[in-house]
């Protein structure tokens, strides 16, 4: 039981957990920004293709 308690203490003192969470949050923000950019570019491209198709 002492071994288990010492492992729990070591895990709680470790900085790997918070670092992983920080990386996950940064990755989520990057994904959100990329999706926003892709949506914006897609809308512009769609409008451009529609304009060209109407002129043909």
**Average pLDDT of the residues in 29-46:** 92
Instruction: Give CA–CA dist 49/41, Å, rounded.
Output: 12
Q: Tell whether pTM > 0.85.
A: no
Number of domains in the chain: 1
The DSSP code for 15 is: S
Neighbours of 12 (CB within 10 A): 8
Please tell me whether residue 29 adopts helix, strand or coil conformation.
helix
- pLDDT score of 56 more than 90: no
pLDDT band at 6 (very low <50, low <70, confident <90, very high): confident
Structural domain of 14: 1-55
């Amino acid at each position: 039981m002492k071994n288990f308690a010492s492992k729990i203490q070591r895990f709680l003192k470790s900085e790997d957990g918070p670092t992983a969470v920080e990386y996950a949050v940064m990755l989520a923000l990057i994904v959100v920004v990329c999706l926003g950019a892709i949506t914006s570019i897609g809308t512009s491209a769609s409008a451009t293709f529609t304009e060209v198709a109407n002129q043909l």
